[in-house]
């Protein structure tokens, strides 16, 4: 957290203005409420929003081998409530809602307002019972304590990763901004449980096209099939799996983010965004973990000049000094195994404190491919935010012109897209 200066009101005022100038978003809503809402502020006017991609990204978040039957109830769609007209942004905050179709099956049990016993009686018992058996690994126990809530359901409804549907919609719009300056962002799965794909430093944006034919989001078809088998076995064992996802961003010019203050360091922002996704527990930028075991002479990417600066290698993952360095940005994120188990772990009840079995509820065996799609979205947001800060612009044309001017000024030789 940034320490407040003594001139408190001034600082607060700066924050509010800053939030309007930069990109920012907020989400609201619960897993089985009417829907998940997002408000995204700061998008320049004139961005053509790719409706098909928005829809495709929402569908990709729901896909992937190992998801629960919930995904067949929901067919996510973003309804735009404000900030756009005729397919393009108009400068005001964009607001949207992704409706929860499952809400209709919960009725009074998810009403925002007080309900009568009769109204509740019409809802299935499973949906109305108070949950008092917190799950290890979930937000349940600390959540009820912190907010003084009587029912674990009050916690899990918001802690649930259903919230990420709105973040994916926000990310899709940020990709539209990034398209305008030639940046693309791609996620894939590199490990599920014990099955991993061989690292490939030379991936290009084109290599990600095959993912529409994969079941788990792994570029290599044989490894993807092995991942399916790993998930199948975990499901039979009534267990869950985590894994590792990787996001690569191509086309970033040098200098997005800044070393000038800790809040502007793009590596920190990306790591924070990655860990803000439910169940993500570690982040690696470039060859971060291996680099820590090697000497500097084997780690740092040597420079050469050929019509502009390039690096021979990309062990830094495209980020140095809190800024992009012009090489592809490479981020790997570790996801823990999901905490809701069909063979429940031990817990103690909230009312009697007696030993009990944790809540069993419809749940994914793994959501690793969905997590890669969410990670793409949050990293697209961070890159779009850094681009807006660097190039400014109330209209997208202004932002593009500033970007072009910058490219004409710097001696940079971009990698092949």
Ligand X SMILES: Cc1cc2nc3c(=O)[nH]c(=O)nc-3n(C[C@H](O)[C@H](O)[C@H](O)COP(=O)(O)O)c2cc1C
Distance CA 252, CA 414 (A): 9
* Binding mask of the shown chain, residues 341 to 380, with x at each position contacting ligand X by CB under 6 A: ----------------------xx--x--xx--x------
Distance CA 73, CA 101 (A): 7
Contact (CB, 8 A) for 20 and 41 = yes
- Closer residue to ligand X in complex, CB, 84/156: 156
Task: Give me the count of residues in the chain.
Answer: 417
Among 133, 166, 279, 372, binds ligand X (CB under 6 A): 279
Which residues make Cβ contacts (< 8 Å) with residue 326, sequence separation at least 6?
A: 252, 253, 254, 309, 310, 311, 318, 412, 414, 415
> Which range binds ligand X by CB under 6 A, 206-214, 261-269, 272-280, 317-325?
272-280
- Closer residue to ligand X in complex, CB, 70/186: 70
Q: Is 108 helix (H, G, I), strand (E, B) or coil?
A: helix
- Closer residue to ligand X in complex, CB, 341/396: 341
Q: How far is the CB of 79 from ligand X (least distance, A)?
A: 21
Closest CA to 240 of 163, 135, 101, 377: 135
Using CA atoms, how far residue 187 sits from 39, 54, 356, in Å, is 24, 15, 39
Among 62, 314, 340, 347, binds ligand X (CB under 6 A): 340
Closest CA to 330 of 182, 202, 227, 213: 202
* Binding mask of the shown chain, residues 153 to 182, with x at each position contacting ligand X by CB under 6 A: ------xxx--x------------------
- Closer residue to ligand X in complex, CB, 184/365: 365
> Which range binds ligand X by CB under 6 A, 45-53, 94-102, 213-221, 273-281?
273-281
Distance CA 181, CA 277 (A): 26
Q: How far is the CB of 364 from ligand X (least distance, A)?
A: 4
71 makes contact with ligand X (CB under 6 A): no
Query: Under the rule (CB under 6 A), what is the footprint of ligand X?
Result: 68, 138-139, 159-161, 164, 277-279, 336, 338-340, 363-364, 367, 370-371, 374
């Amino acid at each position: 957290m940034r320490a407040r200066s003594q001139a408190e009101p001034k600082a607060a005022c700066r924050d509010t203005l800053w939030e309007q100038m930069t990109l920012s978003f907020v989400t609201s809503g619960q897993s089985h409420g009417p829907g998940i809402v997002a408000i995204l502020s700061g998008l320049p006017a004139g961005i053509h929003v790719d409706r098909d991609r928005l829809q495709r990204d929402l569908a990709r978040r729901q896909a992937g081998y190992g998801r629960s039957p919930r995904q067949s109830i929901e067919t996510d769609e973003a309804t735009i409530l404000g900030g756009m007209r005729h397919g393009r942004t108009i400068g005001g905050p964009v607001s949207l809602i992704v409706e929860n179709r499952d809400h209709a099956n919960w009725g009074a049990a998810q009403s925002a307002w007080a309900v009568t016993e009769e109204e509740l009686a019409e809802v299935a018992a499973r949906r109305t019972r108070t949950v008092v058996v917190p799950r290890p690994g979930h937000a349940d126990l600390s959540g009820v304590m912190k907010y003084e809530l009587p029912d674990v359901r009050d916690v899990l409804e918001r802690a649930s990763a259903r919230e990420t549907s709105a973040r994916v919609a926000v990310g899709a719009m940020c990709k539209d901004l990034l398209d305008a300056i030639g940046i693309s962002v791609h996620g894939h799965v590199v490990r599920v449980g014990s099955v991993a794909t061989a690292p490939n430093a030379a991936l290009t944006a084109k290599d990600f096209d095959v993912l529409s034919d994969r079941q788990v989001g792994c570029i290599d078809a044989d490894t993807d099939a092995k991942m399916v088998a790993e998930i199948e076995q975990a499901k039979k064992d009534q267990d869950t799996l985590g894994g590792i996802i990787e996001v690569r961003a191509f086309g970033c010019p040098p200098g997005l983010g800044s070393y000038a203050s800790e809040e502007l360091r793009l590596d920190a922002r990306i790591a924070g965004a990655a860990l803000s996704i439910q169940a993500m527990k570690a982040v690696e930028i470039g060859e971060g973990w291996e680099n820590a075991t090697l000497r500097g002479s084997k780690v740092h990417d040597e420079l050469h000049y050929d019509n502009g600066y390039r690096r021979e290698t990309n062990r830094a993952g495209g980020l140095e000094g809190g800024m992009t360095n012009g090489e592809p940005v490479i981020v790997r994120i570790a996801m823990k195994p999901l905490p809701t188990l069909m063979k429940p772990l031990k817990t103690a009840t909230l009312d009697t404190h007696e030993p009990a079995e944790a809540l069993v509820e419809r749940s994914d065996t793994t959501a690793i491919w969905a997590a890669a799609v969410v990670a793409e979205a949050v990293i697209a947001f961070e890159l779009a935010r850094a681009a807006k800060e660097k190039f400014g612009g109330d209209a997208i044309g202004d932002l593009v012109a500033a970007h072009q001017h910058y490219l004409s000024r710097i001696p940079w030789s971009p990698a092949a897209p």
